[in-house]
Structure formats: C-alpha cells, structure tokens
Structure 1
C-alpha cells in the first residue's frame, strides 16, 4: 500500500508557526484538504511517532564523509535517538544536504530540522508527540488560545493561504483529522501492529503510482524490526482489553473491602478514558484521620492536573473518593502545584 509522500511532507516538514513568547516557537499541524484521513487521532499519533522514529533512525544509519557513527546496539526510543544525534545536529544541517535515505525528496539535512532546542535548552522533537490523544483534533486553523493573541502563521504551501475564499465552516470541516465525509478518500487504520490503507470501492486505488508515493511497508517493517511499539507508544487501540490490563497490574488492592470494590470501576473509567494513557491503579488505602476518604494511587502515564487542565511530564496523581458525600477529587502531586485546596466533583 502506498500513500502520497507530499502529504507526509505536509505533516512532518511544513509547519504553521505560533510564537507564544520571544523565546518559544511551537509547531502545529493543520490537517487540511487531505488526500487521506485516519480512523482516529490516536492512530495518527502512533503514525507520527513511527515516522519520526523511522526518520531519526535513518539519520544514524546513514554514512558520509562528515557523519559516520555506529548504530545503537539495542532498540532505542525516540528520546534515545535524540540523545545520540544531539552532538551532530549542526554538522547534519550544514554538510548533509545531499545525503538521502530510502524515501525520495528529503535530505538528511531536512530531517535534522525535526530536532530543536526546548526552553530548557535541551534537544527535543519540533513536534510535541505527547499531545495526540483520543479527544484532541489538534489546533484548528485561525484559532487562538483563550485570552491570547497568537494566531498561527501559515506556510506558503498552506492550501487555505487565501482563506477569504473559504467559509469558517469549510475550514473547520477540512481541518478535522477524522472527518470521513468523503467516502472516496483513503483511510489509514492501525490493526495488528501494522498501518493499513483502506481504499473505498469508489476510490481509484489501482491508478498508476507516481514517484512521490511512499510505500507504507517501509514504516510497517521499521515498526516490526525496531521494537518501536514496545518503546515509544502507549496507545492501546483495543479498548475492550484495556480494563483487564489495568486490573492485572492493580496488585495492591484489597478487593475484599466493599468500598474499594464499589468505586474501583469508577476510577478505572476516569484513568482509561483516553486509550493513549497506559495506566493502572497501584494501590488504594483508607484515610487515617477521615475514614470516609479512599485514596487511589495512580501509576503509569496518567498525570492529569485539574489546575493545569492538562498532563504534567513527571508527576503522579491520587484520585480521592469521599464515600460519605459521594464526591471525588484528583490530587496532583507535582511540586509546582499547591494541593492544600482540592476541587471536588459529584460522582454521577
């Protein structure tokens, strides 16, 4: 199966820039007038991570007069690849403009621009690969953050550059990643650890394949041989199996206690609402001074902060249940957060 590589270039290299401060530049994708769509946002998240892993690993594998390092002996995460490449970014950008990999029209120098310095002066990916989740449709064109004046600056190849000829509803519909209104557009699914492009009976999947098409088998082969899924993705696309996964790891729960048994499903529903967060209940205990409180300690990748209304990078959280008032609160353990005053919600 093949996909239009120019579309991939739009995803990876054609950025729409927003400057939040003089020091910070963030890159956002606008999925516009697509030649393909995805089954859901989580699948797109895995796809982008796979592409980035493939591209960074391809840099390391390439050899030239200015760049020749040993390939890593063990499977590497994206973070590992960034650490390996960080000392060579300037060399790659300056001297590898003619070096290529197994896909056309992209040089090693081009790929090296996927790496940027963060506000903390550390190398990271230009794309925030942690934001792609079940409920997020990326940032929409012409949108701004609440109370901010920071509209996106479109690239010269952005198809809505002359946006006056498009209505707001047109732009909204054409920017949604998973909007499958046109049944002739090919759709990418992620099944059995492979990306599959599905062509409808009405699409022209048998047309001549031009040179700028990418054989998606390259990415599937890379996933299989690099152990990528075990290293860089936390997405479980099978929601039916997620509950058993999390319950099996909850090895410090005394399910003989009636109160815990009653509320465990409620807590599970909160932390597994987004399948991209591989997470489980580590333990649960009753409050020492207030026996009406149950403290569920959450482990894994659920790091939601009610005050930030987003996930931190490294904190853990408790979900506290008040069995008397039938309320709950999410307590963030990040040191930057003041947890002396908690916000409580009714359990419905």
Structure 2
C-alpha cells in the first residue's frame, strides 16, 4: 500500500464523496482519482480490499457499507476544523493510513452500525477529584470478575480475564478505560446494552439493601459487598450505560478526542495478548487495533441475545429501543412507529413543543395508556437546564391523567422526571369523546368543566 499520503486518503474537507484506489505507482494517482472505481472491483486474491470511499454524511456511509463485503466497515474522523466526516474501508486499509498520521491529528472512531453483530464492550470512567478513594485498576478487576460470573450464569459460556482487551486514556483528572471481550459477540449493540444494564441494575439492587463497607456478605461466587461497593462513584456505577445507542461512535486505538492529545493506548494492566504474525511491520499495534474494533472479527462466532424483561416506570428501557410492557400478553405489547401514533393531535402538539427538534419515534403502551416520544435535534433536559451533549430526551404523555412530562436517556438523569404539565383543554376534550363509552356521566361532566365548555350530555 504505497503511493498515496494520508492527505490523499482523507482528502479535502470540501469534497468527500469520491472513491479511491491505491495505485501501484505514484504516477497514476491523479488518473485514478479522476476515474473512481467500485470497491468490489479492487478486491484482491490475497489480503483485504485496498479501496475506500469518503462521505459527507453518516447515513450515506452506512448505506454504502451494507452493499460491501470482505470486512469493509464504516469509520468517522475529525479534521482540523472539528467537522466529522465518514468513510467506508477495510480496517487494515484504514489502519495503514491512520497509523501514519501525526499522533495529535488522529481523531478517529468506529461506527458501531445498528443491527451489526458486535463484541461485548464497556466504557469505564470517573472523575478522580470527586472520587479520591477509588482505585480504578482494582475496580476493573472486580468488574471483569462480575461480568464473567453473569456471562456464565445467563449464557453458560466460560470466559476469563485473558479474553478482555483493556485500553486506557486516563489522565491525572479522569480515569478512563475501554474493555472489549474478544470471545463474547452479541447480535447487535442494543442486545449487548440490555445485558450490561441488567448487570448494573442487579448490582445497584444488591447495594440498595443498606449494605456497608464492613459487610462481607456474598453477592455471587466469592464477590463480596465490599467488592461491589468499590464500583460506586459519585454518580453511581463507573460503567457508562449510554454507549449502546444506535450507530454509536467509539474511539479507536491510538486515537484521541478532538483538541486533546490523550490517545487510547494499551493499558499496563491489560492481560489480553493478540496472536502474533511474523514478518509484519508494526504487527503488534496493528493486531491490537483490529482486536479493539467492536464490529470486526465477529464472523463465525455464536451470537448472544439478551432481552431484559424487567421494565421501569412505563415499560421503556433507557435505550428507548427494546421495549416491553411487563406482560406476556401480546395484545398488551407496545405499538412503535416512526410515523404517526394512534393520536395524531397529540403528535402535533408534542412536535410543536420540542421544535426545532422533532419526534424520531413514538411508542404507545395500551396496557398503561401512555405514549413515549423519542426526540432528536433537541436535547434540552430540565434536570441539567441545558442541552445534553450525547444523549437524547423523551417526552411521556399519560393519557389517563392527560398530562406530559420529560425524561432523558442520560444515565446521570435516570431518576429525573419533570413536573407534569396538563395537555391543552381541546386535546383533553377530543380524547374524552374518543372514549365516551368507557366514561361515566360524572367523568364526562368533569372533563367538560375542566375544558370550560358547555356540554349538554344525553346518554344514548
């Protein structure tokens, strides 16, 4: 793979949709860039495809990657202007050029595409100043043991600490590690997230039973209360439960966040050793990079699935995707749609309420008579009094009491719920007419009074 520089690879920020083929000599570079080739045409007999394609929009890259094979996947990277761009390439091709960029210019991420099989992964972090007694390395050791126990219990699969790739980007102010279980592959990252949330809820449930640090009671298979208490930080557990959203961007090995030269490197406490390949330039780092990818190298693995049937207040988990109504009766299952809900008048009201944001998806739960609206492009949360940086918000409409309130998908705001706000009188009255046969005379009169309308009711 010689003949093109990293500048040729990433291209100009003004033009991101051309496809490139690595030439055998630099003399043909310009010609090949003028005459784009299709990715499948550059598949080699030995080794990965050496073509790539840049895109200005994420969905374009994801759609294009779905048409490719041979391990090609989607990446995103930040240029000097802070703008993120998108690329489809084979990981080995991506690594070849990305590893040759100056360290302080590598701001690259894997896109964990929705629906793709993925390894079990974790983002573990806490602020050192706010948690002076927390020992991050010991916390990871305890956490990994806990995961191994749950994996054995739920899937009857045995894994060990040597299966876990441990990457570190900690600073004096913040402890930050990524863990990737090499032998555990889920059918998609929402399933993985459901499993992670279940584990965290079990830990929190156990610790909520007034245990203290001197209590050596057993949690599971030798883990004590004291062990689990060490996983608590000022904001709850040190496991970030928000990194299992659709099309998540997950930072790559040896890459740093924009304007920060703190790369994600192999942890000193890492116990995983990749298979060695002799006579390979930069072989070790390349293997670590490939093994650190969440959605690469999953072919041929047994796919795990985990749907947590335990529900929260309204039957919606914090991901807002895999939803259950706490019942096995199919007639009580939620009705999800990207279009209108069964209540278009309420849809319009919520749309106006969240503008310039919009409703991404709605979920109607007949069993509890509530609608959940997942909102995009407006992340304002009443708890933090500002827009969230990464996590979206949701609006819940209670059709029993005819009011709405706001919650969000950020783990730090998991317990937050805004005050209820009554729906407009005309919506309340319209909804009352839809269910007139199920209401008593007194209920109808009360609704009419609340709406300040004259309602002469004669029951048929």
TM-score (norm 1): 0.46
**Higher strand proportion (structure 1 or 2):** 2
* Larger RCO (CA under 8 A, 6+ residues apart): 1
Rg larger in structure? 2
